[in-house]
Structure 1
């Protein structure tokens, strides 16, 4: 169930913002004892209040759902009440999360931009739709949602999905990991790209394994059982290597952020063949 701020919590946040305005104004506060209601910043011009929040509201929700480098998956129910992978609009990849988000919110928060026709929850929120002009000369349209009759930010997101990767597969890419095993009998280095369902159980994965004893690297797609354990392997190819190669942070980040569309198409075909 969605966890939004209650009237009492909103009152508490507003009182904190008013009593400690100079402390939060136009700075980013890092608090080692923060909670959902902790204020991160108050914007320079419109005095919008950004709180840490949770997965459903506030800065954490905004950044996890719409930040370009967020790797969380979100799921929605379709008309048949079945869950499908959502693809919420993403911010420009060069944006600095809290810094640029605040600038955009300040730019579009005004009475002229209040959007009353496309506000799906007018009893809970106020919605503002406007255009922000960047220093580089381009402009983009955004939607800002604040708690009703307050300046507390619920969320904000781009109008278009111009920075989104195309969704080709019904499961969401999880966190890419590496594993190293080194014994005289069996030595290898793995890079694993999991694809998860709504319950965060791995259904498919891309496995690149360097077999050190054989000096061979194999590219594998794995199909997992209902508990997330690999049960079927599809070897796509292999290559020889010399010396002691291993997966580094750069390779890890590459597979985390890259569009793996061709491999996702293969997994989609495997999934389709099961039916």
Structure 2
């Protein structure tokens, strides 16, 4: 259940935000408590640490491109829009949206609680994105802030009922073999799929596999996907960083079809066609 700020909490935040130190343009505070203030923008917008339901924590978990959290809504899996902003950029972009002409009462579904601003922001590369800024009513405390482009340009191309975790990697110093794993977890944090990559410098090949687990997280079978030429030998930590944001939509599509029971296994893997995702 959604837990928003109480009237007493709002009063405390507004009183704290009046302190002179928050007027420093380049001050970003290290925060850990729900009511701690991360930043007060030039226009006075107040970004609090918050939690899963409101403030910076909510914004980052739900809308940051780095978030690996899975969301559920009305019995199905939600796919909130993502953006590629760093936390220190939030206040700058939000200030550009916070102008009187962007105040929108028609699309505000909870006017008794919030003020809604909708506007466009032009990035350095010339691309224009539409954002929604939601403030607690008659205050400048930011409840949430997110990109609203229907194309969802920074979301994964394939929407899955599992979330992609962070990659892990190993390097065998004797053979030079590198192995990488990317887990896909369900709402109960059970690993349901694992992308497994072997980089073999001796033959300059990369071999990709998909490990499919049952609903307990126990491996059921490993499915060979494809082989690629190894163009460069990349240090393990850097390759992990690349994998974390690489377009894996071709593999994601296979995962989606396996979940739906519509994936056509190759001849040698036809015995796994009876696998049912639960």
TM-score scaled to structure 2, two decimals?
A: 0.80
Query: Which portions of structure 1, spanning 4 or more consecutive aligned residues, are displaced by more than 6 angstroms?
Result: 181-184, 214-217
Of 76, 79, 88 in structure 2, the residue corresponding to residue 87 of structure 1 is 79
Instruction: State the 1:129 CA deviation.
Output: 1.0
Higher relative contact order (CA 8 A, sep 6+): 1
- Per-residue CA deviation, residues 25-73 of structure 1 (Å, 9 max, x unaligned), is 4233333x631211111111x21111111222111221232223x1323
How do 1:1-275 and structure 2 match up within 5 A? 1-18=1-18, 20-31=19-30, 34-44=32-42, 46-68=43-65, 70-78=66-74, 81=75, 83-84=76-77, 86-91=78-83, 93=84, 95-99=85-89, 101-134=90-123, 137-160=126-149, 161-179=152-170, 189-209=178-198, 218-237=207-226, 248-273=236-261, 274-275=275-276
**1:37 touches 1:53 (CA, 8 Å); kept in 2?**
yes
**1:24 touches 1:40 (CA, 8 Å); kept in 2?**
no
**1:72 touches 1:174 (CA, 8 Å); kept in 2?**
yes
CA distance in 2, matches of 1:239, 1:50: 46
Aligned length: 259
* Cα distance change on mapping 1:188 and 1:14 into 2, 3 Å: same
Q: Where in structure 2 are there 5+ consecutive unaligned residues?
A: 262-274
Q: For structure 1, which segment, 160-169 or 8-17, has the greater mean C-alpha deviation from structure 2 after superposition?
A: 160-169
CA distance in 1, matches of 2:206, 2:93: 46
Corresponding residue for 2:270?
none
**1:71 touches 1:173 (CA, 8 Å); kept in 2?**
no
* Cα distance change on mapping 1:217 and 1:42 into 2, 3 Å: closer
SS at match of 1:174: strand
Instruction: State the 1:111 CA deviation.
Output: 2.9
* Cα distance change on mapping 1:181 and 1:7 into 2, 3 Å: farther
CA distance in 1, matches of 2:2, 2:91: 24
**1:131 touches 1:140 (CA, 8 Å); kept in 2?**
yes
SS at match of 2:112: coil
Q: For structure 1, which segment, 9-18 or 33-42, has the greater mean C-alpha deviation from structure 2 after superposition?
A: 33-42
Q: Where in structure 1 are there 5+ consecutive unaligned residues?
A: none
* Cα distance change on mapping 1:119 and 1:26 into 2, 3 Å: same
* Cα distance change on mapping 1:266 and 1:23 into 2, 3 Å: closer
TM-score scaled to structure 1, two decimals?
A: 0.80
Instruction: State the 1:240 CA deviation.
Output: 10
- Per-residue CA deviation, residues 147-200 of structure 1 (Å, 9 max, x unaligned), is 11110001111120233331253322111112467899xx97531111111122
**1:90 touches 1:158 (CA, 8 Å); kept in 2?**
yes
**2:50 touches 2:56 (CA, 8 Å); kept in 1?**
yes
CA distance in 2, matches of 1:62, 1:121: 18
Corresponding residue for 2:268?
none
* Cα distance change on mapping 1:246 and 1:90 into 2, 3 Å: closer
* Cα distance change on mapping 1:9 and 1:234 into 2, 3 Å: same
